[in-house]
Amino acid sequence: MGVALGFVYVVRVIDAATAEATRSLRDREVRRGAAPFWYSELGGTGLLVSRLGFGTFRVVSQAENHRSALALALERGVNLIDTSPTFGGGDAELAVGDVVEGLGVRGSTVVMTRVGYVTPGLKGPEAITSFDLGRGVRYSLDPRSIARELRASRDRLRMRTLDVALIQTPESVLESKASPGAASMAQVFARAFETLEGEVAAGRLQHYGVVSNAFGRNGGILSIEGLLDAARRVAGDRHHLALVQLPVNLVERGMLDGVVASARKAGLGVVANRPLNAMTDKGMLRLADLPTPLGPPLSRATRTARQLELELDSGIARAMRSTGSGTCPTVALADELARRAEEYREPVRFSEWVEVRFTPELSEAVQRFEGRLAQPMKAAFRFWLERYVTALTGLTSALHARCVQEASGRVTALSELARPLFGAVGPSLSSAQVALLSVAGLEDVTSVLVGMRDPAYVREAVELFGLERPRLTSAALITALSPSTEVSGGKSTLRGQGSAVA
């Protein structure tokens, strides 16, 4: 029923989302108990979309729980999907195409994909203009590249017409060493909009937009006025620029007053991403109830690791010095782990550092040192190393548990500030539901993308569909959260505490 490597499938043409089908879906869900508020028009497209959308950033087509979650979301009234060729190298698009076609919901489902980053290995013109962002990553808004990327997305999604194509994070070029400058980039944007309007005219695309984390940060190029001006220069008032996508959550509220309000005033849809993954100066803060991981007491784990470090210095290191067989480096990794945990603070960032930097570098250092040892010193070192690695594993777990506990405290503090905005239902909401409703309930936000890769995540999120509109304004949310700056960005003395939504 899907696309898989090594097999040839017959492609069945599916049409685009329609205003009539999306209205029918809204009416069906209202009859099932959803409040009408949970569906709104996506800009001036005529398409009604659910205020909670399905983000596919980490969706894998072969993961059955991911496919089941997407199917459940569509069956429960979610009808906006955000995907991209960059999500799993196009694998997420394959999953979306399979599930949407399998359920027969193409007409009522609005699918957004992206252009900008060059997908390696695609057939097509080689002589495209692109920007080298380093590490093998290239970015291009060359008309030939856009056409090639959209054709590949249509093939993976098995859709004759794409509903929305988003120019993806152009600031990655604007704020890089490869930047051609604001004036030249404005010309690149104009050509890109002209290409996208051409795709609309050819019936291969319905609408387009821009996804960025930097609206308002690069002068006129990434301002709402600048985008609209570029679209009007290309197609007049009949342009098909329909929406912007940007991060909004309980912590990242900086675009609410300016960008979001300006976009809605201009008639553009506003799709928010990262509602549960706030970026702070210490890393990512997960805005959900976090289960406390198991780990040994921190003081005991630290003491065990330090005792083994002293044992190495007084045993193997001393023996090497006394026999003239070389020197043993001083080992103080317990202190290094503690320092990094304090520096990063957020559990995800600390775990990433341990996995990406600490563990590989430790393995390389051990191999280099062990290669210099002769028996029986090598056997003694291996006996010590086995115990030391066990101790470091325990210490890492204990430090991670502390990071989770502190992050939970910050999340709880933020949630408690926002709960009163939702009246009688506030106390019954999970932290993730508070975070979602705080953004989805804003009058200027059209929809909020949620990474619901598990059916349990979907069920927790769509429980909100039964709630009436909270009539929440950006100003009210900003005011309610105004005491939260230190809580969300740095160390908090407030304490709190396990959620399903990802």
Tell me, yes or no, whether 94 and 158 share the same domain: yes
* CA 173 to the chain's CA centroid: 19
What does the pLDDT look like over 287-338, one tens digit per residue? Answer: 998 887 778 899 999 999 999 999 998 888 888 888 777 778 889 999 999 9
The Cα–Cα gap between 280 and 401 comes to 19
Per the domain annotation, does 198 fall within a domain?
Answer: yes
Per the domain annotation, does 452 fall within a domain?
Answer: no
Q: Full-prediction pTM beyond 0.75?
A: yes
Interstrand relation of 447-450 and 283-286 (parallel, antiparallel or unpaired): unpaired
Helix (H, G, I), strand (E, B) or coil at 122: coil
Mapping DSSP onto H, E and C, the string for 318-372 reads HHHHHHCCCCCCCCCHHHHHHHHHHHHCCHHHHHHHHHHHHHHHHHHHHHHHHCC
* CA 158 to the chain's CA centroid: 24
Q: What is the CA radius of gyration of the chain?
A: 26
Tell me, yes or no, whether 83 and 218 share the same domain: yes
Per the domain annotation, does 157 fall within a domain?
Answer: yes
* Residue 174 structural domain: 19-249+256-268
Tell me, yes or no, whether 262 and 316 share the same domain: no
Domain boundary among the residues 353, 387, 407 is at 407
Tell me, yes or no, whether 333 and 264 share the same domain: no
The DSSP line for 49-89 is EESEEEE-TT--TT-HHHHHHHHHHHHTT--EEE--TTSGG
**Does residue 53 contact residue 80 with C-beta atoms inside 8 Å?**
yes
Burial of 112 by CB count in 10 Å (0-12 exposed, 13-18 middle, 19+ buried)?
buried
Domain boundary among the residues 407, 429, 447 is at 407
Q: What is the pLDDT of residue 123?
A: 66
Tell me, yes or no, whether 43 and 158 share the same domain: yes
Domain boundary among the residues 407, 427, 460 is at 407
Per the domain annotation, does 486 fall within a domain?
Answer: no
Query: CA 381 → CA 146, 301, 365, 387, 494, distances in Å?
Result: 57, 21, 13, 10, 44
Per the domain annotation, does 100 fall within a domain?
Answer: yes
Tell me, yes or no, whether 324 and 264 share the same domain: no
Tell me, yes or no, whether 264 and 323 share the same domain: no
Tell me, yes or no, whether 218 and 82 share the same domain: yes
HSE, side-chain direction, 13 A CA sphere, residue 426: 14
Interstrand relation of 137-139 and 131-134 (parallel, antiparallel or unpaired): antiparallel
Helix (H, G, I), strand (E, B) or coil at 193: helix
Per the domain annotation, does 242 fall within a domain?
Answer: yes
Tell me, yes or no, whether 245 and 323 share the same domain: no
Q: Domains in the chain: how many in total?
A: 2
Per the domain annotation, does 144 fall within a domain?
Answer: yes
The per-residue pLDDT string of the chain (502 residues; one tens digit each, 9 = 90 and over) reads: 444 434 444 444 448 999 999 999 999 999 999 999 999 999 999 999 999 999 999 999 999 999 999 999 999 999 999 999 999 989 999 999 999 999 999 999 999 999 999 988 766 655 577 888 888 899 999 999 999 999 999 999 999 999 999 999 999 998 888 888 878 888 988 999 999 999 999 999 999 999 999 998 766 778 999 999 999 999 999 999 999 999 999 999 989 988 999 999 999 999 999 999 998 887 788 999 888 777 889 999 999 999 999 999 888 888 888 877 777 888 999 999 999 999 888 888 899 899 999 999 999 989 888 888 888 888 999 999 999 999 999 999 999 999 999 999 999 999 999 999 999 999 999 999 999 999 999 999 999 999 999 999 999 999 999 999 898 999 999 999 987 655 544 433 332 333 334 4
Tell me, yes or no, whether 245 and 314 share the same domain: no
Per the domain annotation, does 278 fall within a domain?
Answer: no
Tell me, yes or no, whether 43 and 185 share the same domain: yes
Closest CA to 446 of 35, 90, 38, 27: 38
Q: What is the pLDDT of residue 1?
A: 41
CATH number of the domain within which 142 lies: 3.20.20.100
Tell me, yes or no, whether 326 and 260 share the same domain: no
